[in-house]
Structure 1
Amino acid sequence: MTIRLIEMKDVQQVAEWEREIAILSFGDEAITDLAFHMRKLEKAAQYEPAGMLVWETAEYLAGWMWMSKRVNSVTQEAYIHLKSFFIREVYRGTPGGRDLFGTGMQWAINEGCRHILGHVNVHNMPMRALYEKYGFAPTHLTMEFRVSPTEKDEQID
């Protein structure tokens, strides 16, 4: 088992996982175009590869974690944005997945950041449980209203 930085040879597989993550997160509004995800990953790997980690077994890639260092525009405090985490289904709940998450967390600490922010769809219970396991706590909840085609012309009280 190896945890390492993403390489260009990994982009196809990771893009497929990014598409799966998008579907989990955004449902029918997810961007499912594989080329879109590949371009996004290739660009990020050029400019911010340090937080783009893959877990590789002898056979294939087993997991992926993408963390990005950011700066709060108001406080100027550096923080980490946990953008993606994915484990191939057969490896979920295994020590390798925990090692990948732990490696990412240690990278964030080594970067000098005291704050890690991750977004998760309210219905993605496995990821919410993983966040809780590592000490993450919910701080905001996005509320959303969608106008259906039949409600479009009705007045709301």
Structure 2
Amino acid sequence: MEQLRELHFDDLNAAIKEARSLLKSGYNRSGIWSLGQICRHLTLVQDPSVDGYPKWMSLFAFLRPVMRRILLPKVLSGDSPRGIRTASMFVPPAELDDVREVEAFAASVARFYAHFGDYAPHPAFGRLPRERIEQIHTAHAAHHLRFLRPRD
């Protein structure tokens, strides 16, 4: 298995900067998704923090304490599990325009930061402080963008 880049972002704006840098340099994939697909996925996962998640995602709410104790530290440390299938609503289509999707991700980040009040409870981790939700999305962005290597 190919070694992935080590990425860590202090905030979501750093993730946008990295995505724009990959647009400029071009990139090679170490995974199956393009930059546009990754940015669409990040947007699809991030927007429900503001808009709310579908009700069916609360069916396993009873597992949240275990998920917070076991999975959340792994996610935040950059040790997110690889190869876990995501809900189909978060899977991006195959053919996307990288430029358009990077800018849509940037708009989603701006909307995320402009939101007042609490974010919606996370499907796996429940209601968390704003800072923790931001850390989750930031770690998630680093997890996916590490699969792309800038071209020299």
TM exceeds 0.5? no
Higher helix share: 2
More strand by share: 1
- Provide the TM-score with structure 2 as the length reference: 0.27
- The TM-score, its normalising length taken from structure 1, stands at 0.26
Larger radius of gyration between Structure 1 and Structure 2: 1
Larger relative contact order (Cα-Cα within 8 Å, sequence gap ≥ 6): 2
